[in-house]
Amino acid sequence: MLSDPQINICNDVSKIKNLLGQITYETGYFSTVYQPADGGAGLIHMIPQNWGVNAQDMDLLWSGNDYEAKVASMEKTFFQTAQYGWKSVAAWFKSTNRVIPGCGQNLFDASYDGQTKCILGRVVDRSETYNFVEQCWNEFGGSRRNRRLLSRH
């Protein structure tokens, strides 16, 4: 998803760290992609009311894949799979975030707090997860080899 022409952030370390920090928070450090309390699923805990809109946005970004029909049939499982989950996040960052009042922007270009507001609906302190990502990046992600691997995905 990072190097997909519609997204193309694989060479922007700051944007990658922000994205991973948000996903780390939303998934409880990558421990869950489903919340039974409200039925939210995926890497950014998207509630069911937004699934159809997100799938429509995915269809606009990547036409010919009929994501809307796939979401209708797979429901939460769609957002829980790597095949669709990452692109779902990308579509949210690009346009679906408009369902949050005051949003409707390209979150890849937004500040970390701006991203938080347009994912959760309000700003909460997510510095712990950002710092976790930063530490991991500095330890593992900054090597030339790892940057090459990221540019392929």
Distance from C-alpha of 20 to C-alpha of 113, rounded to nearest angstrom: 14
- Share the mean pLDDT of the chain: 93
pLDDT, tens only, 50-105: 999 999 999 999 999 999 999 999 999 999 999 999 999 999 999 999 999 999 99
Does residue 130 carry a pLDDT above 80? yes
pLDDT, tens only, 12-25: 999 999 999 999 99
Residue spans of the domains in the chain: they are: 13-151
**What pLDDT is stored for residue 140 in this prediction?**
85
Helix, strand or coil for residue 2?
Answer: coil
Token pair belonging to 111: 């500040």
| Count of beta carbons in the 10 Å neighbourhood of residue 78 | 22
64 CA to centre of own chain: 21
